[in-house]
Amino acid sequence: MKENLIIFLPEFEKGIKNWELIIYSQKGEIIKKINGKGEVPKAIYWDLKKEKGDYLNVDEIYYAIFIAYDFLGNQTKILTPLFSFDGLIYQEKDKKSYYNKSGKNFSIGNW
């Protein structure tokens, strides 16, 4: 089981030179950038961590923009629906903890 994982499933035709998935906070701040060269993978995995390595805030709303460029330089943008999280499971030394919107932390023991 993988915790705190979002999978984006973009669908594009062949001929993509490079692509980028940019996740934003509701305030328009860039939270995470995931990019690649060549064809877009069938699935893009994200561990819910920000660029600096800390986890997202569960009380915020997020959105993403997927941008792809073809070999002629044409750009295609796709805006995702808004999304948020009810809670996060994270590793803390030898135990896993759960953090939810109410701000409560719960230890869930060893897995």
Average pLDDT over the chain reads: 78
pLDDT value at residue 75: 93
Extended beta strands in the chain, E state = 6-8, 16-25, 30-37, 44-46, 62-70, 75-79, 87-92, 95-100, 105-107
Residue 69 has pLDDT above 90, yes or no: yes
The pTM for the full model equals: 0.75
pLDDT tens-digit map of 14-66: 789 999 999 999 999 999 999 999 988 888 888 888 999 888 887 789 999 99
Domain spans of the chain, in order of start:
6-85
Give the architecture-level CATH label for domain 6-85: Sandwich (2.60)
Q: Identify which of 52-56, 76-80, 81-85 has the greatest average pLDDT.
A: 76-80
The CA distance from 33 to 20, in Å, is: 7
Q: Is the pLDDT of residue 99 over 90?
A: no
